[in-house]
Structure 1
């Protein structure tokens, strides 16, 4: 921040001076002047508003679910119990809340989105374990590779080389597959106890509620209202539910978690463990760029044009996520970090900046981890699926449609969706970025305005390198893994 610029406190005006609440919130975004790597204090540099509770609630629900999913994906192949999964998830939430969510995003570096969980990597975890991978080795390498990319400012470079059409296509693809997946989860849950109609009623009520909130311009209330509505409908119709997680504090000793007979029961990793997980770690960090870019673009679509300083910084977010990964893994956590989507998407919809919501998210995560009972409610399928539907996937679909209205952008978006469906979003993003920047599709004038390095050298290296990694670990459909260490998967 320039010392001559007026501070946030000097420019702040009470909400009663604005004709509408939306205008007040937009003004708050426009006057935000974050101090990077210096203390940002409430009321001097930002304020708490009741809208901040929306992303905080959504982020806490998402955190419980995603961390439990990551740890559970490791625990299954390693033969660990469900009790271990809950305890490690609670441990991870306390680490994230105290050391990173509140300290970093809330006070020291409010230009960084919260360090969340790397959801797209979950399906690959059984492959990692089967190939001889070690959770600590994977976490350390993801942190090291991510920090290297952040220090070289690679995240912002790749964001600059990705056009609106490619971004819009990614948002459409991620939003669509997310909606389909959550609806399937709901019906699978309801069919499990012979009451499939509950899933239909919950989804139908969610559609009506979301449409009404859109009409009333109250979409930022979708997550809390949707969760309450889904829980009430499911309970009223006889869906089974009970609290099982009791209050308590998990074991805070890292030696316990990385013991040979305690915690993960795998001991400390050796060199061959790092070699086995290296390709997966490279791919995990490569997935960061489109994920981080999508979150920043979503902010831009919902924030006023003058709110540039309130936007998340991709490189700062990568630095925080990498440091969080290294520290969390060393302490014994099983989480794999990424940009926190279940926080950023609802925060952007509610027109709120990062720091205030980050502090409230940290507080709620600590309460949920220590209290225990909220974890049971958050992972209950009707609550979880509705929160993800209205808080993440439907907004992603809307943002993707908004970015692909023009014919030039729709061409690139279609190729992203097509190629992502063939392999995964990393393949679709890297291939379409190359084709788009070379002028084969999309806005050809944009491609002609790029230098040779940006137009085809960097995109080509990215695409070929990522394909080589995916080929090595067997992620290209119909082609077996090429590395000898992965033959166990054949």
Structure 2
């Protein structure tokens, strides 16, 4: 049997045969041969390691926070209580953990990243509700469009058309604005009880801790150590905190969640609800490509060159996220799905493949949802903000800098940051891909190798469609929404 065709279990070697832990983990990545849409079993196809707890912990914290943010953004304009938000978040975590995180990413397709939460869409949710949108209608439309994009391999095509300069600039922009947002949130929290200096102390200690972990090459420990350190410092300074979410099982009936007087209190969606959310659904799916691409690139930067088989499959991840979206929305959940960044980024840093950590993530999500109390700790501002800064946004900055060190990548990176700041990352990405592939910026030779389809036809169509959607819902600064103007005229 050749080495390439031999099984993972036959090629596995104990840790004692390697000079360092890092060499052992890299060897594990190289020998894995995951099977797409077929059964993959622990110990036969992959193993559990201590490092898998890092992305699992980070993903669970991120899941609680991001789903809560999505559901709360829907609940506020609908006049729903905080108790409803907590109940729906617990329900969503059970759906994600049992049906998709453990089953799909852990056993059926280990190259499909976990289906997480679509954070960039949160600011648009009040506008979606004001436009007559229905959470279930939005979820089903996003799921259908996302599944079509994935099954037609549109995600991987757009990834191939995106240069290192564009991708690196996008990572830099997302990393920087993410860090700034978390710093502001941490100071706002501390100022709420007149201890603004506490935020400064926590952030300074976090910087020193992260620098030391970089020095000893143990950056993968940043999330658990950083979150724990932030909690200890906050407790020591007397910051207010209390456990309020008690153990329990959320209501599991779709008829309850989509009742006229229970759950969302909206009833089942009708045709006009689907029409109202259509532009937002197109935009949400368009945001997937740069997001998914960034996650795969982050794996490539941290994994050894011969670990191609364990890299996240963009199209499979889109199909998984889309299916999870339809199922979750139909059952009554309020989450909007995307690739799970708070899982894949820490997993990449820890040099771990997707499946083992996915199983642990599912278990932790189930425990948090049923136990209740961990949800309070995970959304406590010092724990949350530090986890996001060291686990997601700082690594994004570092990856962006790595991708823009060679050639003419800085031209494209500068334009994508500039145009993203003007409107949003979707506009910045689509515009810069078009300019870059046309050869107006970046590497001129690369544009010539793409042919007419890759050079301007596909990027041009994508840019026009996205700009039309953004103009319709009023995302261009200073320009009124075309849909509102149309309604006013009629």
The aligned length equals 487
Residues 52 and 357, structure 1, Cα contact 8 Å, conserved in 2: yes
Q: CA 1:396 to 1:109, structure 2 compared with 1: closer, same or farther past 3 Å?
A: same
Secondary structure of 1:116's counterpart equals coil
CA positional deviation for 1:483: 1.4
Counterpart in the other structure of 2:83: 83
Deviates more, 1:235-244 or 1:403-412: 403-412
CA positional deviation for 1:334: 0.2
Counterpart in the other structure of 2:438: 438
Between the aligned partners of 1:104 and 1:476, the Cα distance in structure 2 is 38
Residues 407 and 443, structure 2, Cα contact 8 Å, conserved in 1: no
Residues 176 and 393, structure 1, Cα contact 8 Å, conserved in 2: yes
Deviates more, 1:3-12 or 1:354-363: 3-12
**1:194 maps onto 2:216 in alignment:** no
Which runs of 5 or more residues in structure 1 are unaligned?
Answer: none
CA positional deviation for 1:3: 11
Q: Cα deviation per residue 1:209-265 (whole Å; 9 max; x = unaligned)? A: 000000010100000000110000001001000000000000011100000100000
Counterpart in the other structure of 1:209: 209
Q: Could you tell me the TM-score, scaled by structure 1's length?
A: 0.98
Between the aligned partners of 2:486 and 2:206, the Cα distance in structure 1 is 43
CA positional deviation for 1:10: 1.0
Residues 55 and 344, structure 2, Cα contact 8 Å, conserved in 1: yes
**1:249 maps onto 2:253 in alignment:** no
Counterpart in the other structure of 2:169: 169
Between the aligned partners of 2:219 and 2:484, the Cα distance in structure 1 is 51
CA positional deviation for 1:130: 0.3
Q: Cα deviation per residue 1:376-408 (whole Å; 9 max; x = unaligned)? A: 000000000000000000000000001001240
Q: Cα deviation per residue 1:288-329 (whole Å; 9 max; x = unaligned)? A: 000000000000000000000010000000000000000000
User: Structure 2 matches for 1:55-70, cutoff 5 A?
Assistant: 55-70=55-70
Between the aligned partners of 1:345 and 1:284, the Cα distance in structure 2 is 21
Counterpart in the other structure of 1:310: 310
User: Structure 2 matches for 1:58-457, cutoff 5 A?
Assistant: 58-457=58-457
Secondary structure of 2:408's counterpart equals helix
Q: Cα deviation per residue 1:261-283 (whole Å; 9 max; x = unaligned)? A: 00000001111110000000000
Between the aligned partners of 2:487 and 2:86, the Cα distance in structure 1 is 32
User: Structure 2 matches for 1:455-466, cutoff 5 A?
Assistant: 455-466=455-466
Q: Cα deviation per residue 1:175-202 (whole Å; 9 max; x = unaligned)? A: 0000000000000000011110110000
Secondary structure of 1:227's counterpart equals helix
Residues 175 and 394, structure 1, Cα contact 8 Å, conserved in 2: yes
Between the aligned partners of 2:40 and 2:247, the Cα distance in structure 1 is 33
Between the aligned partners of 2:28 and 2:267, the Cα distance in structure 1 is 49
Secondary structure of 1:483's counterpart equals helix
CA positional deviation for 1:484: 4.2
Q: Cα deviation per residue 1:73-117 (whole Å; 9 max; x = unaligned)? A: 000000000000000000000000000000000000111000000
Between the aligned partners of 1:155 and 1:291, the Cα distance in structure 2 is 10
Between the aligned partners of 1:474 and 1:267, the Cα distance in structure 2 is 28
Residues 59 and 342, structure 1, Cα contact 8 Å, conserved in 2: yes
Q: CA 1:293 to 1:7, structure 2 compared with 1: closer, same or farther past 3 Å?
A: same
CA positional deviation for 1:55: 0.1
Between the aligned partners of 1:22 and 1:484, the Cα distance in structure 2 is 56
Q: CA 1:486 to 1:376, structure 2 compared with 1: closer, same or farther past 3 Å?
A: farther
Counterpart in the other structure of 1:480: 480
Between the aligned partners of 2:487 and 2:58, the Cα distance in structure 1 is 41
CA positional deviation for 1:479: 0.6
Residues 258 and 264, structure 2, Cα contact 8 Å, conserved in 1: yes
**1:469 maps onto 2:486 in alignment:** no
Show structure 1 runs of 4+ deviating over 2 A.
Answer: 484-488
Secondary structure of 1:194's counterpart equals coil
**1:21 maps onto 2:21 in alignment:** yes
Between the aligned partners of 1:473 and 1:362, the Cα distance in structure 2 is 36
Residues 377 and 383, structure 1, Cα contact 8 Å, conserved in 2: yes
Q: Cα deviation per residue 1:441-481 (whole Å; 9 max; x = unaligned)? A: 01111111111000000000000110000000001111111
